Structure 1
């Protein structure tokens, strides 16, 4: 028989999902209205890519509109799904802020392209000042601040039950699993900003110039949210946005002496966020707060900051006791 231990909280998902999707809906409507109003004054093809402010890439007017709407639609649906999946986690307000920044930044650039082509007979003569990149980033930041304000306070972390025991009383032959996700809003924002900046640089200066930014965003985002799992095999960590089997750290039961939980101060103890190594141990600290502390058989410690750590510790100690009993230890 198997059971799964998870914290349950009342659902407030629909409202936050609608808030996350709203900026993309607004930008889609604004872009469509702008195109409808300017359609008779636009050349075909349009200038849609610039190098040093000079047009060097072109697209049909209908193709440009369809491509922009498709990008906005995919990003909007993706933002809504991401918020729905993370609706009870502390990073949700930052995900919503990122949605607003992304929609506004891209929407500004897309509308700017149309305006730059108005009443032009030869699209190759269109010019786009490079300072517009700075303006688009400013628009994105302001929209992100609005999104963070509309998102409201982050959901509170689950409260630890008083008198929680360090072990779970599981009947013989019963297995259980515990899994929670811990995310770093600054890393999520950094990853999205890198991707957004890469898109803007790619549009204005060429995709080769933006390769570093795009690669940095793609590398940061999978590690900005990590799934922590305790099961009969031990403790494992894997990127939340990748399949479960893509683990980057696994501690089997035979390497665990005992597990405990305590409050962890990431800067005071580890000097910052991320995967940290220090004398006597290591850990994944994406924020300060409640965390699992595993004392390894070699005397070192491994820590990971995560909500509901007490439940994870109790289950991990139970499995460790069972493993020792099987080995006759």
Structure 2
């Protein structure tokens, strides 16, 4: 006998997986139906004026629709479904489901519309403005996103346990020196999500480079791929240090770097972090009410409450030892 999935999981799957699959399939079918009466090559890019300025083979439109229309929702779903099945809840999950639905209808409608407006043309250069299709796609995307948001149940965000840290006993002497060091790496879930996003971007880049005759489009595409790859490399491994200067979290590449001096710390806590529910994902994150964080995985972390109400969290192994030393140094400094 199987256990029925909770309502939040079922509805998320409907709006973030099934609905995008249906919308994308319909869009691809419409494009294939129109293909015999479409020019070849077709217009695949429009400038800011709304007029066509880039052209490519007819297969580019349905392939792009399938890759982006299915790939992006699946990527968003992959980053959320495991947490939902564990029992995690929160607005971030509802937003991911709504975004997946909105993206699928936006991409599907926009690309199908761009093909439909070229039906019967002998030369794609005569294609009318894409702006009406873009406006319609945006409206439909927002509308479906709102519906998908309300279809999913509103459940309170999951929060891990919080423990206010006491100073070391016995306390640090006035002349004693102590340093606590740890290295934290991006968890498997975060790596899968980021690697999948990079793969989708590379596939889109390959298609763009293969069919685009624009040097500017080629340069921009390559720059975007390189920047994303560099960002993943810079945010996959962090070194965490607690010493007499405070709490320092530095990427293995040296940047980004976060430093919280002792005099800026008002309270130190050990927390159990639920990345998706609390921060909407992994990596360098900011969340309303949760402050800024270096969130590499689920589990224990050090959270410091700073002057002015600011909060910083870093997930790290043996957070209890690091937090205890940080609190001891803070007490001694005070």
Report the TM-score range of the alignment, normalised by the length of the smaller protein: 0.5 to 0.7
CA contact (8 A) 1:178 1:230 kept: yes
Task: Tell me the residue number matched to 1:318.
Answer: 324
Task: Specify which of 33, 43, 60 is matched with residue 39 of structure 2.
Answer: 43
The answer (yes or no) to whether the contact 2:76–2:100 under 8 Å persists in 1 is yes
Q: Is the 8 A contact 1:48 1:57 kept in 2?
A: yes
Q: Distance in 2 between matches of 1:155 and 1:133?
A: 35
Q: Say whether the 8 Å CA contact 2:16–2:74 is kept in structure 1.
A: no
Shift in CA distance, 137/118, structure 1 to aligned 2, threshold 3 Å: same
* TM-score between both structures, scaled by the size of structure 2: 0.54
User: Could you tell me how far apart the structure 2 residues matched to 1:106 and 1:35 are?
Assistant: 13
1:131 aligns to what SS in structure 2?
helix
Partner SS, residue 59 of structure 2? helix
Could you give the per-residue CA deviations for residues 72-111 of structure 1, whole angstroms, max 9, x where no partner exists? 2331332122324664354121122222222211111111
Going from structure 1 to structure 2, the CA distance change for 1:328 and 1:40 (only over 3 Å counts) comes to closer
Query: For the residues of structure 2 that align with 1:303 and 1:328, how far apart are their CA atoms?
Result: 20
Q: Distance in 2 between matches of 1:147 and 1:243?
A: 39
2:123 is equivalent to residue 125 of structure 1? no
Q: What is aligned with 1:21?
A: 17
Match of 1:259 in 2: 267
Question: Are the counterparts in 1 of residues 46 and 54 from structure 2 also a CA contact under 8 Å?
Answer: yes
- Number of the residue aligned with 1:250: 259
Q: CA deviation at 1:133?
A: 2.6
Residue 157 of structure 2 corresponds to residue 148 of structure 1: no
Contact 2:290–2:311 (CA under 8 A) maintained in structure 1: no
How much has 1:141 moved relative to structure 2?
0.9
Q: Is contact 2:15–2:101 with CA below 8 Å preserved after alignment?
A: no
Q: Is the 8 A contact 1:46 1:123 kept in 2?
A: yes
Which residues of structure 1 form unaligned runs of 5+?
Answer: 1-9, 180-205, 262-283
- TM alignment of 1:165-244, pairs within 5 A: 166-167=165-166, 233=242, 235=247
22 and 235 in structure 1: CA distance in 2 versus 1, 3 angstrom threshold: farther
Who is 1:277 aligned against? none
CA distance in 2, matches of 1:306, 1:120: 57
Decide whether aligned partners of structure 1 residues 71 and 288 sit closer, same or farther in structure 2, where only a CA change above 3 A counts. closer
Matched-pair contact (CA < 8 Å) for 1:157–1:307: no
Helix, strand or coil at the partner of 2:45: strand
**1:30 CA displacement:** 0.7
1:3 equivalent in structure 2: none
| CA distance in structure 2 between the aligned counterparts of 1:99 and 1:153, rounded to whole angstroms | 17
Indicate the residue corresponding to 2:28 in structure 1. Answer: 32
Cα distance in 1 for partners of 2:159, 2:184 equals 14
CA distance in 2, matches of 1:66, 1:26: 15
Task: State the match for 1:74 in structure 2.
Answer: 71
Structure 1 CA distance for aligned equivalents of residues 182 and 10 of structure 2: 30
Residues 307 and 152 (structure 1), Cα distance of their counterparts in 2 relative to 1, 3 Å cut:
farther
Do the aligned residues in 2 keep the contact of 1:21 with 1:79 (CA within 8 Å)? no
Instruction: Identify if the C-alpha distance between structure 1 residues 106 and 167 changes in structure 2 by more than 3 Å, giving closer, same or farther.
Output: same
2:167/2:325 contact within 8 Å kept: no
Residue 120 of structure 1: SS of its match in structure 2?
Answer: coil
Q: Cα 1:243–1:307, aligned 2, differ >3 Å: closer, same or farther?
A: closer
Q: 2:166 aligns to what SS in structure 1? A: coil
RMSD: 5.2
SS of 1:135's partner is helix
Equivalent-residue separation in structure 1 for 2:333 and 2:326 (angstroms): 12
- Whether contact under 8 Å (2:31, 2:61) holds in the other structure is no
Count of paired positions: 245
**C-alpha displacement of 1:114:** 1.8
Mapped contact 1:54–1:126 kept (Cα < 8 A) = yes
